[in-house]
Amino acid sequence: MTYWITFDCYGTLIDWERGITNALLPLLPRGTDRTAVAARYIEIEAEVEKGEYLRYRDVLDRAGRRVLAENGRPLTDDAPSPLPSSLPSWLPFEEVPEALAELRHRGYRVAILSNVDRDLVAASPKTALPVSARVPHGRIAASIGTVNGRSARSSQPYPARSPIRYDRTSQAVR
């Protein structure tokens, strides 16, 4: 029998806060507090996610722009947001590569399940995340009966926005 262990990617395997702040701090006034930026970003992202469904790259864009604007460094509408393009450079927590490798060595299949856009998850550092599968936004892990954010039209698991569940064959069950 094959056993799977699944993990969310950002904030669990990848140091999400450091990735966010590494992308934003160079655009903020010198001496801006990293911890304060991370805390405010988290608050703003939660506000953005409460609204209509957005792809995660759009959540990153809107929340990042608000943090910059609140700190007196607004981006022009035609300027690219730094967050979506920075995501592939975000690194895992220090202990993660070794821990995932050990799980695989013990015979477990390891998968990333994420509410992040498929191209962003696919661009995560592959050598640092030794996993058997990456199941990003818009894909269903049929073998383990999982739903992701895009198929439920929600970047977060709010029941009111996620009325669909999936059975093991990836068929929507209402």
Which among 49, 71, 74 is positioned nearest to 59, based on CA atoms? 49
The conformation of residue 109, written as its DSSP 8-state character, comes to E
Task: Considering the candidates 8, 15, 77, 78, report the single residue annotated as catalytic.
Answer: 8
8 is catalytic: yes
Which among 28, 77, 83, 79 is positioned nearest to 55, based on CA atoms? 83
Buried b (16+ CB within 10 A) or exposed e, 13-36: bbbbbebbbbbbbeebeeebeeee
Positions marked active-site: 8
